[in-house]
Amino acid sequence: MHTWSKIRKKLEQEYLADSLRGRLTYFVTAYHAAHDSDEGRAAIRLDGAEILKSNFFERMDRQWEIYSGLGEAKNEVGAWKQSGLDAIHDGAFYQVDFYRAFSVFDNQSIGESLQSDNALVRMFALLDRRTGKRTLEKLRSSIGEMPDWLQMIYYIRLEAEQMSLTGKEQQSMKKAILFDLDGTLWDSSEQVTHAWNKTIREKTDRTEQFTVADMHNFMGRTMEAIAALMFPDLPDADRIAILERCSEDEIDYLTNPEPGDEPSYFPDEEAIIRALAKKYTLGIVSNCQEGYIETYLGKIPFADAFTDIECAGRTGKSKGENIRLVVERQGITDCIYVGDTQGDADAAYEAGVKFVHAAYGFGKVKACDAALEDIRELPQTVKTIFEEA
């Protein structure tokens, strides 16, 4: 029996289509603390992000659910084995399923694998270099019979081969645009500056008062980094305590500002976001405190256009890690991050996604995949990037 390292080498180097080599990888691991060494998980990664994953417990739960629903048919020969295949069909699998599927795939023709009743075997075949464009094209008429996750794999292969995709097929690819917030979707710097200065003046013994220009420099950084810039002479705990108080009052003020003192948005922002939401999954990832993104969403009439949000204040993770977190939990296969600072650019590249610089925002960057002088350039820019990917 092959070791996983040998299996992976064959799958990714010998069998995998040239168009996906270096982009698509397979991953398995065992839960070392588990009682049974077979317990573990398996995943498929595209450009570093897990687009498909499952584990032993999901697999067994689904198999038992299917098996229990068979009634008297449970007594038939092969019922338990068929229940396992049905679980895999539903996207529930673990590392042993990968081993078994590879053993079958490695010992039969590509034609037999494309017709296999094991969905993992069919996946290996769809991604195989021996499955050419002519065969891929013939499969279009029957692709609807495959489970959704296997259809996604098929569409990934079509896109990699630069074969045309219908609207429905493009939607199954789960392309996404994730946004920074400050300087990218709104400018609350005047309101935040007002709230912070008031808190410092009235609720601390500090004398610092900050400008809007200072706030532009702060935005996009982690709370710890901002606190260090604001109060460099204080111990970490003391300056963080002040900033936490400022942040609480900031949310209160943004929620109920003085009359006429609302944050500013960008031209045609609602129309742009709504149009993009029809084609792509949209989300917001920021280094802000928990509640800040929610405050923005509470102010706009198009909050429903955003599928997911994440922030450092909730996870304690870096922006790059949070981008990856959203990509993985949403099953995103192709992603662009839009932000206005070098920190945003660094986070995008850390997460392995394309970066579009909102040059109309607060900062400059060393490099990007595209730059926007106006948010109204965004729809055509992301269209171009996704088409060239």
**pLDDT tens digit string along 105-133?**
999 999 999 999 999 999 999 999 999 99
* pLDDT(171) > 60: no
Classify 30 as helix, strand or coil: strand
Residue 328: φ, ψ to 5°: -75, -45
- Residue 181 vs residues 161, 213, 288, 309, 374: alpha-carbon distances, Å: 35, 17, 9, 10, 15
Torsion angles phi and psi, residue 264, rounded to 5: -95, 150
Which letter does DSSP use for residue 166 in this model? -
Helix (H, G, I), strand (E, B) or coil at 370: strand
CA atoms within 13 A on the CB side of 38: 10
Q: Domain 174-389 falls in which CATH fold?
A: Rossmann fold (3.40.50)
H or E segment and range at residue 338: strand 334-339
- Mean pLDDT across 251-268: 90
Is the model's pTM score more than 0.75?
no
pLDDT above 70 as % of the chain: 95
Q: Residue 362: is its pLDDT beyond 80?
A: yes
Q: In the chain, what are the domain boundaries?
A: 4-165, 174-389
Residue 333: what residue type?
Answer: T
How far is Cα 241 from Cα 227, in angstroms, rounded to an integer? 9
Q: Rg of the chain over CA atoms, in angstroms?
A: 25
DSSP 215-273: HHHHTTS-HHHHHHHH-TTS-HHHHHHHHHHHHHHHHHHHHSPPTT-PPEE-TTHHHHH
Reported as a single tens digit per residue, the pLDDT across 61-91 is 999 999 999 988 888 899 999 999 999 999 9
